[in-house]
């Protein structure tokens, strides 16, 4: 994974600021424009593909709305790093193929640092400070799903295999 710029947020970044209810009717383009605007008005306009969003505790708390990680992914965010994630948000992110990495030292990353996240190895390289931060490894079954690009492509592969074995057993 290439390096990206870090956007740093605090504790309990909630799904209402990630995906405001007002735009839930809209498509993801419109939703993404308002992602995080209540706490960082410039975010959607300035974030670059490959950038990394860093939170502290309980990132993504709140709703099941998948538009929260989807908006981040849509804006090109390459990975999420936090001391901890809200469980439901974490599952949604991985299901959409957006790596979410738990790092106890996430607070050592400063806004604007260039970081490279390696979810498989469980490490973050901070190119700006030279620091390497250890992360919790993503469980193997989820790493496989991420490798496939998320749950939908993962299911596509599984269904293709089932159809194939169905045909060959005929």
Partner 1 sequence: MAAQTPAQTLAQKIIARAAGRESVAPGEIVTCRVDLAMMHDSGGPRRVKPLLEKLGAKVWDPDKIVVITDHYLPANDDESRRIIHIAREWVKEAGVTRFHDGIGICHVVLPQKGYLRPGMFAVGGDSHSPTGGAFGAYMFGIGATEMLGVLVTGEIWLKVPHTILVEWRGELGPAVSAKDMMLALCGKLGLDGGQYQAIEYAGDAISALRMQERMTLCNMAPEVGAQTGLVAPDQVTRAFLESVGATGADVAAWQGDPGAPLLAHHHFDASTLEPQVAAPHTPANAAPVARHAGTRIDTAYIGACTGAKIEDLRMAAKVLEGRRVAEHIRFVVAPASAQDQAIAAREGTLQILVDAGAELLANSCGICAGYGDDRLGENEVAITSTARNFKGRMGAASSQVYLASPFTVAASAIAGRICDPREFLK
| Neighbouring residues of 29: CB distance < 8 A, sequence distance ≥ 6 | 74
Buried b (16+ CB within 10 A) or exposed e, 121-139: ebbbbbeeeeeebebeebe
Which residues bind to partner 1, rule: CB under 8 A?
12, 14, 16-17, 20-22, 24-26, 38-39, 57-58, 61-66, 84, 86-88, 90-92, 95-96, 139, 141, 150-152, 155-156, 158-159
Q: Minimum distance between the CB of residue 25 and partner 1, rounded to whole angstroms?
A: 4
* Nearest to 23, CA basis, from 58, 68, 62, 59: 68
- Measure the CA–CA gap between 165 and 159, rounded to whole angstroms: 10
Q: Minimum distance between the CB of residue 155 and partner 1, rounded to whole angstroms?
A: 6
Q: Minimum distance between the CB of residue 36 and partner 1, rounded to whole angstroms?
A: 11
Pick between residue 25 and residue 170 the one whose CB is nearest to partner 1: 25
Torsions phi, psi of 118, nearest 5?
Answer: -115, 95
Torsions phi, psi of 93, nearest 5?
Answer: -60, -50
Pick between residue 48 and residue 162 the one whose CB is nearest to partner 1: 162
Pick between residue 36 and residue 115 the one whose CB is nearest to partner 1: 36
Pick between residue 48 and residue 64 the one whose CB is nearest to partner 1: 64
């Amino acid at each position: 994974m290439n390096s990206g710029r870090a956007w740093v947020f605090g504790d309990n970044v909630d799904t209402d600021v990630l995906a405001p209810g007002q735009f839930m009717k809209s498509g993801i383009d419109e939703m993404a424009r308002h992602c995080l605007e209540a706490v960082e008005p410039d975010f959607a306009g300035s974030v670059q593909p490959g950038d990394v969003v860093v939170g502290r505790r309980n990132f993504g708390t709140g709703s099941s709305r998948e538009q929260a990680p989807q908006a981040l992914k849509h804006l090109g965010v390459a990975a999420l790093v936090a001391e901890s994630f809200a469980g439901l948000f974490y599952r949604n992110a991985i299901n959409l193929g957006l790596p979410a990495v738990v790092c106890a030292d996430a607070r050592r990353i400063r806004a604007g640092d260039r970081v490279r996240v390696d979810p498989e190895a469980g490490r973050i390289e901070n190119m700006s400070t030279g620091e390497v931060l250890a992360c919790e490894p993503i469980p193997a079954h989820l790493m496989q799903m991420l490798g496939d690009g998320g749950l939908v492509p993962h299911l596509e592969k599984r269904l293709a295999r089932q159809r194939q074995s169905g045909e060959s057993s005929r």
